[in-house]
């Protein structure tokens, strides 16, 4: 096996690796949620069933909030004026409420899986 | 405001109080004095403040999943410390001797780390809700009530364990620690799934109709053994493994102890 062959194989391998990466990233839908005045905006999001989804939560309030959901099994502090990433799913069809543990009176929302 | 602050603090404190009460009761059985508790609680408070104040920095680690990874790591370390503790407890029950220094050290790590994790959340909560002042008093009262309920349940556990015969309290304490430690692994695996470090899967079953995680019993079981109503295969598998590991080690220890004993 000569050098050029090894190089070719390396290229093929790299292309394979990157295409795989592209598939992985393309396959994970991203949904943005904002927190303003202790409210989730939008408060209802719809995601496809049996699919992993990346939630990006942008907290525009000065105060921290804790994203929490018993149904989704998720819990994460979203620092004030920062964003946080949470992966959810794959999930069967249904409704999955979530809330802000620090301000639960107003910070309420749900994920609808269809 | 009052009720939500009772609930949030109770949830955090309960988990720690159950674990601490078992550790304190068992260490008393083994003749360890309480000095370690003071040090570990001071360390835990310090840790909670450092973690809470740097939560933004921690959150940004590992491309935005630093919180999950750090918390999972804390749970993992607590788990392995608990396994060590269970081994020392079993050894004590066979030979009636132990290293008090090592026991204190293990318990200090467990208590300090658990307080760091739970305490940081309480501190963040406190600063967030009192940011716009208004509810200062209600929040403080609520937090005090929540903490008191949690500590009372812990004390109840402590006195229950202490009122039993030594062998029995060690046996029951061992089972409780086994469950709590597996709960740590259940939580750690959940966090790593949330961070996308462990593969996400469809839940294996859904027992939320039977026992909701929101219910009081569900919350207690969550604190005690990491109850989840919709676990995935990976989570359930790791949970089982985390039970099997200490049991195997304890069985091995028992085997060696009894073998050595008969050869004497």
Average pLDDT over residues B182-205: 95
d(Cα B15, Cα B220) in Å, to the nearest integer?
A: 8
Tell me whether B223 touches chain A (CB under 8 Å). Answer: no
Tell me whether A85 touches chain B (CB under 8 Å). Answer: yes
All residues of chain A having their beta carbon less than 8 Å from the beta carbon of residue B212 are 70
Q: List the strands of the sheet with A83-88, edge to edge.
A: A39-41, A30-36, A53-59, A83-88
Average pLDDT over residues B85-112: 94
Per-residue pLDDT reduced to its tens digit, B5-22: 999 999 889 989 999 999
Tell me whether B196 touches chain A (CB under 8 Å). Answer: yes
Q: Contact B202/A102, CB-based, under 8 Å? A: no
What are the domain boundaries of chain A?
Answer: 29-113
d(Cα A74, Cα A86) in Å, to the nearest integer?
A: 8
Residues with Cβ within 8 Å of residue A49, at least 6 apart in sequence: A90, A91, A92, A93, A113, A114
pLDDT value at residue A24: 52
3-state class of A76 per DSSP? strand
For domain A29-113, give its CATH number from 1.10.10.60, 2.60.40.420, 2.30.38.10, 3.40.50.720: 2.60.40.420
pLDDT value at residue A27: 73
Average pLDDT over residues A47-64: 96
Instruction: State the complex-level ipTM.
Output: 0.89
């Amino acid at each position: 096996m000569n050098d050029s062959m090894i190089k070719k194989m390396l290229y093929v391998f790299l292309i394979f690796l990157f295409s795989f990466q592209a598939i992985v990233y393309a396959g994970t839908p991203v949904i943005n949620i904002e927190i303003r005045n202790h409210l989730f905006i939008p408060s209802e999001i719809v995601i496809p069933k049996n699919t992993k989804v990346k939630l990006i939560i942008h907290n525009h309030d000065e105060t921290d909030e804790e994203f929490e959901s018993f149904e989704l099994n998720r819990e994460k502090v979203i620092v004030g004026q920062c964003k946080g990433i949470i992966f959810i799913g794959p999930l069967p069809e249904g409704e999955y409420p979530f809330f802000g543990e620090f301000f639960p009176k107003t910070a309420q929302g749900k994920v609808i899986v269809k | 405001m009052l009720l939500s602050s009772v609930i949030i603090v109770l949830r955090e404190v309960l988990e720690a109080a159950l674990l601490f009460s078992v550790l304190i009761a068992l260490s008393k059985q083994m003749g360890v004095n309480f000095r370690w508790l003071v040090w570990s609680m001071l360390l835990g408070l310090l840790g909670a403040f450092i973690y809470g104040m740097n939560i933004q920095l921690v959150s940004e680690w590992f491309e935005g999943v630093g919180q999950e990874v750090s918390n999972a790591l804390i749970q993992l370390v607590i788990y392995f410390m608990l396994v060590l503790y269970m081994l020392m407890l079993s050894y004590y029950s066979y030979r009636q001797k132990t290293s008090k220094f090592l026991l204190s050290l293990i318990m200090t790590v467990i208590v300090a780390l658990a307080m760091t994790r739970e305490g940081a959340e309480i501190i963040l909560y406190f600063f967030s809700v009192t940011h716009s002042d208004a509810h200062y008093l209600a929040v403080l009262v609520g937090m005090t009530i929540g903490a008191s309920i949690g500590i009372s349940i812990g004390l109840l556990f402590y006195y229950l364990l202490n009122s039993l015969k030594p062998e029995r309290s060690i046996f029951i304490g061992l089972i409780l620690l086994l469950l709590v430690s597996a709960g740590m692994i259940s939580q750690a695996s959940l966090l790593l799934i949330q961070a996308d470090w462990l593969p996400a899967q469809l839940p294996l079953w859904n027992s939320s109709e039977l026992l909701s995680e929101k219910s009081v019993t569900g919350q207690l079981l969550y604190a005690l053994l990491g109850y989840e109503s919709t676990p995935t295969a990976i989570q359930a598998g790791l949970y089982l493994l985390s039970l099997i590991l200490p049991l195997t080690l304890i069985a091995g220890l028992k085997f060696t102890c009894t073998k050595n004993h008969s050869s004497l």
